[in-house]
Amino acid sequence: MMALTTKEDLDSIKSWLKKGKAVALTGAGISAESGIPTFRGKGGLWEKYDPEIFANAEELLSTFRQKPERIVDFLSDLYSLLLQAKPNPGHFALAKMEEKGILDCVITQNIDDLHNLAGSRKVFELHGNAFHLRCEKCFRRMGLDREKLADLINKMNKYKNSKWKLLRLFSQFFPKCTCLARFRIDIVLFGEMLDYDILSKANQAVNNCSLLFLIGTSGVVYPAAQLPFAAKEKGAKIVEINNNPSELSYICDYQILGKAGEILPEFIK
């Protein structure tokens, strides 16, 4: 399981953990064992729906104009996955490490809310959260009730072939903010800016950590992929946990090949 790491390596990582706080940067891989397919892995949602279309605001709008039922299908499939997913032992181990004072925070590229559900308290969601709404202008956020969301999906499927009924439904579900702009789902789509405040807090955390866990990310999407470089420059050790090598493996001090849900619980023993 731990192909590149010996017992001595594990002990040495544990001793680094005692020297200061660690930070975890997670990607889709940590949620794979919760049944959510990764972005670049085989199978799953992103083979059925081209991310160039379904993760891009302009393409989404133009598809909605031409074939609203495609958007309904996509949102139904996405949310039925997300609504069913439960945190796995990897998410719980990180929450436990925070509770024990070993881990400062989790920085995640995931939108699935699973770190919060597992009990992690300090979570920086670089790409947003599918269970929040965000004002598209002033970035004010509000929670999205899971039952209300399931109800929206049901209604959307009922009105699937009527663009006008869908538009009316969306205008009820996505209210206007006090700044008069509209709320939308809080997901950062391709080509969109990250929330500056969240990104700067994530930067601050990696600049002050003694060890960075790089978990289940291919390390190809920036600015998230820049964070391990910042940590390394400040002298932090980088520990990768991934069942395959990634684009960032070469900067890691330790590489643990295996599943996050099996490896992370080792650190709370």
Residues in contact with ligand OAD by the rule CB under 6 A: 27-29, 32-33, 38-41, 55, 109, 127, 188, 216-218, 221, 241-244, 246, 259-260
Shortest reach from residue 172's CB to ligand OAD, in Å: 26
Q: Which is nearer to ligand OAD, 110 or 210 (CB)?
A: 110
Both tokens of 13, joined, read: 């990582």
Q: Tell me how far, at minimum, the Cβ of 75 lies from ligand OAD, in Å.
A: 15
Closest to ligand OAD by CB, 68 or 219: 219
Task: Identify the sign of the CA torsion 114, 116, 119, 122.
Answer: positive
- What is the closest distance, in whole angstroms, from the C-beta atom of residue 150 to ligand OAD in the complex? 23
Q: Is the dihedral of CA 161, 167, 172, 177 positive or negative?
A: positive
Which residue has tokens 């990250």?
A: 194
Pairing of strands 128-135, 141-143: antiparallel
Is the Cβ of residue 206 or residue 241 nearer to ligand OAD in the bound state? 241
Catalytic residue ranges: 127
Instruction: Check residue 81 and report its DSSP letter.
Output: H
Q: Which residues have a Cβ under 8 Å from the Cβ of 202 and sit 6 or more positions away?
A: 107, 124, 126, 227
